[in-house]
Amino acid sequence: MLIRSLKGLSDLFLHQNCPLCDRSAPTELCTSCWRQIQQCAQAQPASTTPDALVLFAWGDYRDGLKQAIAALKYDNNPQLAMPLGKALGHHWQQFPIQLQRSPLVVPIPMHRAKQRKRGFNQAELLARAFCEQTGLPLHTTGLIRRVATVPQFSLGLQERQQNLAGAFALGPAFLRRPPQRPVLLLDDIYTTGTTVKIAAAELRRHRISVCGVAVIARTLFETEGKDR
Ligand SMILES: [Zn+2]
């Protein structure tokens, strides 16, 4: 009985309409919207940030991809993390970063109060889908967010750094036993890199190696960033 009702729920979930255009969709998105999102994908996913981290981005933060990330975060569509995270994972499999040891994936954490309000941390859901696709190990509490910060998009560069200072702390499991593998941070978008820089600094302060950050999309212009 329980199994049947769960099945009923999953059918309901799978046959809902596409959250971007409201047409009926066989999966999380309709084929037309998914095609538009794929047009934002980058041919060369890896570059280096000013802080000497590898930045691995699936796409540009524009058009269909920008719309999909907004629908995921601000319009309560956590199911969109699955196709987006898997696309990032598929890209990683096609263009792997050469490392001596395969990395451990750590999503950028969200403050508890904010996560309670939103119901989920999109970076964590994306990391789960990414790891499901790549087989890389996931550690969702490698970092924790100590401070509830104001949204980054409202701030200048210097204010962004001040806003995030001390925002991250090492999670208890990493404190007890620091990982031997390098950490690959994972977030939804990369804007100015302030979040990643401060998260990486916290890990490195504890002598944990950070190889880079994987994101669904990188912004083309700083002003287009929303809060990362
Ligand atoms: Zn659609």
Segment 142-181, tens digit of pLDDT: 999 987 776 767 777 777 777 777 889 999 999 999 999 9
pLDDT of residue 13: 55
Domain shared by 62 and 133, yes or no = yes
Rounded Cα distance between 40 and 69, Å, is 12
Judge whether 132 and 89 are in contact, CB under 8 Å.
yes
User: Residue 34 sits in which domain range?
Assistant: 1-38
Q: What is the pLDDT of residue 6?
A: 52
- In the reported structure, the alpha carbon of residue 182 is separated from the centroid of ligand 1 by a whole-number distance in angstroms of 38
Contacts of 149 (CB under 8 A, 6+ apart): 111, 163, 164, 167
* Cα-to-centroid distance, 88 and ligand 1 (Å): 20
Domains identified in the chain, total number: 2
Tell me the per-residue pLDDT of 50-65, one tens digit each, with 9 for 90 and over.
888 999 999 999 999 9
Give whole-number Cα distances, 172 to 75, 124, 143, 185, in Å. Answer: 32, 17, 9, 17
Confidence (pTM): 0.87
- Ligand 1 center to 21 CA (angstroms): 4
Q: Is the per-residue pLDDT at 227 higher than 60?
A: no
Cα–Cα distance for residue pair 169/174, rounded to 1 Å:
10
Q: Which two tokens stand for residue 39?
A: 């047009």
Residue keyed to tokens 């996931």: 138
Residue 66 CA to ligand 1 center (angstroms) comes to 14
* pLDDT tens digits, 177-217: 999 999 999 999 999 898 999 999 999 999 999 999 999 99
Q: What is the mean pLDDT of residues 123-135?
A: 98
CATH number of the domain encompassing residue 205: 3.40.50
Same domain, yes or no, for 70 and 143?
yes
d(CA 163, CA 148): 9
